[in-house]
């Protein structure tokens, strides 16, 4: 089972690698889309990365901004998906 901290680290590294924010700009509660760190194409890339990395599949109803708005939101959502 993957730990919450490992999941957060993986998501953070992926987002930073795709957007190049200053490390101080990206904490666990930073609103990724509101801050312009990822755009719609970045969102599509992020969901593809998460699906392949964690062997999960997102339904259309899963693709809500609230599930992906921050590292904390992503971590909680992915943890929930993995527990099913």
Q: Where do the domains of the chain lie? A: 4-17+26-83
Q: Which CATH superfamily is domain 4-17+26-83 in?
A: ACP-like (1.10.1200.10)
Q: What is the tens place of the pLDDT at every residue in 12-58?
A: 999 998 887 665 678 999 999 999 899 999 999 999 999 999 999 99
Residue 82 CA, distance from chain mean position: 14
Question: Rounded to two decimals, what is the model's pTM?
Answer: 0.91
Phi, psi torsion values for 63, nearest 5 degrees: -85, 55
Within 10 Å of residue 34's Cβ, how many Cβ atoms?
10
């Amino acid at each position: 089972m993957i730990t919450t901290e490992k999941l957060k680290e993986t998501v953070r590294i992926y987002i930073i690698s795709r957007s190049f924010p200053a490390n101080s700009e990206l904490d666990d509660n930073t609103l990724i889309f509101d801050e312009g760190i990822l755009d719609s194409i970045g969102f599509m890339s992020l969901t593809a990365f998460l699906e392949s990395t964690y062997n999960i599949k997102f339904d259309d109803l899963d693709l809500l901004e609230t599930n992906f708005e921050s590292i904390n939101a992503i971590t909680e959502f992915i943890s929930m998906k993995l527990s099913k």
